[in-house]
Amino acid sequence: MNKEWPLWEVFIRSRQGLDHKHAGSLHAADAAMAIENARDVYTRRMEGVSIWVVESKHIHASNPDDAGALYDPANDKAYRHPTFYDLPDELKHM
Amino acid sequence: MKNQSLIDYTLHLADNALIIGHRNSEWCGHGPILEQDIAISNIALDLIGQARNLYQYAAELKGDHATEDSLAYLRDGWDFKNLLITELPNGDWAQTILRQFFFSTYQYFLYQQLQHSKDERLAAIAAKALKEVTYHLRWSSEWVIRLGDGTDESKQRMEKAVEELYAFTGEMFLPTDYEKELATNGISVGPESLKEKWTDKVRSVFEEATLASPFKENNSAWMQSGGKEGKHTEHLGFVLAEMQFLQRAYPGAEW
């Protein structure tokens, strides 16, 4: 039997209206314990108003070796940025 | 005019928090895993914070140059009014968890009422501490359930902890003279009034943890007592020896 508790990834939302950000990882026996542990480990200094946890094994990551194929083709496609519009002066915060 | 009962009661509340907080702090660096090491250390810090608020108030009531530090570091064993259960050695993780669960359940119902005390300072301290205690209760309940309804070994360790600690729970509900006097003025909480809620909570958590109920039919179990009036187990002296050493050896030492 594997006696190690599984690893969990912790996401904390620091204020209402913001999105959850990855805070780190920890060990816990199940989701309820992972949330309690996250509260104790990552919100001691008033960092959070909401916690998400997900077992690390459920996170599928892109392979760094594929970086060339995945990201490089975007390099010379400046037209994908919405920078070719004339914005009226009244429009702020764009 | 000094109100000796109010001083005694405030010290009793403060001593409870300090001594169990100190016991929990002994886990720092020794927790079963990193995350729980941090959790129990957080709880220790919460409790020592509560103790500070209460000692500061007691020092003001006492006058005579008393400070929170002199009350924590320069009183002797017989001056301490903490419940015996708070001074018991940590034992294994199960015993520490169960002690915290018994104590947090008691503190939770106590502070729930104390936040309406006619004494504004005690009411404010209780209201502030209640949020922390609510979490301590949730955390320790979860662990009692996990260990009780866990593996054969964890269950057996919980059962042993119940055997060790149950006889120290009765003292929580035995009123002292200072509590009786203040209860009539609406300042303290009559501890006997907490017994039913405490028993219900313990019963329901034990049920979920598949642990046998420790409660006897006619409430006949023999119980330890004395801590609230300064009569302690041999363990308190060792706690104080370690906790007070620095201030005793180097009076007035500061960081």
CATH code at position A21: 3.10.20.520
- Residue B214's H or E segment, with its range, is none
pLDDT band at B85 (very low <50, low <70, confident <90, very high): very high
pLDDT value, residue A93: 75
pLDDT band at A2 (very low <50, low <70, confident <90, very high): low
Q: End-to-end distance of chain A based on CA atoms, in angstroms?
A: 56
- The dihedral sign for the CA sequence A62, A66, A67, A73: negative
Domain-embedded: residue A2? yes
Asked if A36 lies within 8 A of B139 by C-beta distance, the reply is yes
Domain-embedded: residue B254? no
B33: chain A residues, CB-CB within 8 Å:
5, 27
Domain-embedded: residue B255? no
pLDDT value, residue B205: 98
Tokens of A51: 């916690």
A 10 A CB-CB count for A23 gives: 21
Domain interval for residue A52 = 1-59
Quick check: A27 contacting B, CB < 8 Å?
yes
A32: chain B residues, CB-CB within 8 Å:
142
- Which ipTM did the prediction report? 0.72
Amino acid present at B108? Y
Closest by CA position to A25, among listed A48, A59, A50, A49: A59
How many domains would you assign to chain B? 1
Mapped to the 3 state alphabet, what secondary structure does chain A carry?
CCCCCCEEEEEEECCCCCCCEEEEEEECCCHHHHHHHHHHHHCCCCCCCEEEEEEHHHCCCCCHHHHHHHHHHHCCCHHHCCCCCCCCCCCCCC
Q: What is the mean pLDDT of residues A6-11?
A: 96
- Residue B194's H or E segment, with its range, is none
Tokens of B30: 């020794």
pLDDT value, residue B216: 79
Smallest Cα distance from A19 to chain B, Å: 25
pLDDT band at B220 (very low <50, low <70, confident <90, very high): confident
Domain-embedded: residue A18? yes
Quick check: B152 contacting A, CB < 8 Å?
no
Q: How much is the mean pLDDT over chain B?
A: 95
pLDDT value, residue B2: 65
Q: Is residue B1 pLDDT above 60, yes or no?
A: no
Q: What is the mean pLDDT of residues A75-93?
A: 80
A78 vs B139 pLDDT, higher one: B139
Asked if B39 lies within 8 A of A36 by C-beta distance, the reply is yes
Tell me if residue B159 falls in helix, strand or coil.
helix
Quick check: B28 contacting A, CB < 8 Å?
no
Tokens of B221: 């179990």
Quick check: A44 contacting B, CB < 8 Å?
yes
B87 vs A82 pLDDT, higher one: B87
Contact (Cβ atoms closer than 8 angstroms) between residue B44 and residue B24: yes
Smallest Cα distance from B38 to chain A, Å: 7
A72 vs B116 pLDDT, higher one: B116
CATH code at position B35: 1.20.1260.10
B33 vs B97 pLDDT, higher one: B97
| Candidate from B35, B135, B138 with C-beta closest to A41 | B35
Q: What is the mean pLDDT of residues B46-67?
A: 97
Q: Is residue B247 pLDDT above 70, yes or no?
A: yes
Domain-embedded: residue A81? no
Quick check: B150 contacting A, CB < 8 Å?
no
A35: chain B residues, CB-CB within 8 Å:
none
Domain-embedded: residue A82? no
Domain interval for residue B18 = 4-249
A5: chain B residues, CB-CB within 8 Å:
33
Domain-embedded: residue A14? yes
Q: pLDDT by residue (tens digit) across A14-62?
A: 888 889 999 999 999 999 999 999 999 998 887 788 999 999 999 999 8
Quick check: B34 contacting A, CB < 8 Å?
yes
Buried/exposed B76-113: b ≥16 CB within 10 Å, e otherwise: ebeebbbbbbbbbeebebbbbbbbbbbbbbbbbbbbbb
Distance CA B212, CA B155 (A): 11
CA distances from A6 to A24, A39, A89, B32, B153 (A): 14, 17, 54, 15, 21
Quick check: B33 contacting A, CB < 8 Å?
yes
